[in-house]
Amino acid sequence: MGKRAEYEGYTIESAPQHDPHRQKWRLRIYISIQHPRGIQSRELTAEGLYASEDEADFYGIAFGQRVIDGRVDGLAVWDLKVQERRITPRFRVQFRTTFCAAPTLDGTGTILDLSTGGCRVESTAFLTSGLTLELRIYAPGLDWPLMIEAATIQWVSGPMFGLAFFRMTDSERQRLDLVIQDLTSTPT
């Protein structure tokens, strides 16, 4: 797992991608901020390859700091502070899910609504806001469950809680997009 740093009220998390063809690492970071409406985050990448994961982490954190400071043309994160919590449409579903937070929490539940940015889950597990989970979504038509590497609990109300998807691989993002496309074309 990459490095993490706090800077100017934001969290910068480095998650470099390995390029197996070139045996190099590509810079990828997530910048997030906590505010009353929940955690808002943004994934950013930059051109260039690095010899090691540690080097990509180092330059990723520095890149994130420059973005936060407004010193990277065309990239900004100030809008994360004012962004509406729900920026993508949600679709009513009933998908089985499993989740965990190492080392002590394993749980199951039912996803009641789903979007590209998050979901609402019903479960008997005792959870708290701010907790980060690894999530598997068992959507119909998929050969194996969708894997969300990191989803943060935004709110808890009785047996229900809301998750914001924080980190997933590009291939899982594409699979999620296909599930959402199917939901979009399905009449309600």
pLDDT digits (tens, 9 = 90+) for 97-156: 999 987 778 899 999 999 888 899 999 998 888 888 999 999 998 999 999 998 888 888
Confidence band (pLDDT; 50, 70, 90) for 87?
A: low
User: Given a cut of 80, is residue 76 above it in pLDDT?
Assistant: no
Residue 51: strand pairing partners: none
pLDDT score for 40: 74
- For CATH 2.40.10.220, the residue range(s) in the chain are 91-185
- Mean per-residue pLDDT, 21-33: 88
**Token pair of 162 as six digits:** 């809301």
- For CATH 3.30.160.350, the residue range(s) in the chain are 4-81
Query: What's the CATH number of domain 4-81, 3.30.1330.20, 3.20.20.140, 3.40.50.1100, 3.30.160.350?
Result: 3.30.160.350
Write the secondary structure of the chain as one string of H (helix), E (strand) and C (coil): CCCEEEECCEEEEECCEEECCCCEEEEEEEEEEEECCEEEEEEEEEEEEECCHHHHHHHHHHHHHHHHCCCCCCCCCHHHHCCCCCCCCCEEEEEEEEEEECCCEEEEEEEEEECCCEEEEECCCCCCCCCEEEEEEECCCCCCCEEEEEEEEEEEECCEEEEEEEECCHHHHHHHHHHHHHHHHCCC
Q: Which CATH architecture has domain 91-185?
A: Beta Barrel (2.40)
Query: Would strands 38-50 and 118-122 be described as parallel, antiparallel, or unpaired?
Result: unpaired
Q: In this predicted model, which residue has the larger pLDDT, 53 or 104?
A: 53
Average pLDDT of the residues of the chain: 85
User: Given a cut of 60, is residue 84 above it in pLDDT?
Assistant: no
User: Given a cut of 50, is residue 85 above it in pLDDT?
Assistant: no
pLDDT score for 131: 86
pLDDT score for 86: 47
- Mean per-residue pLDDT, 80-96: 69
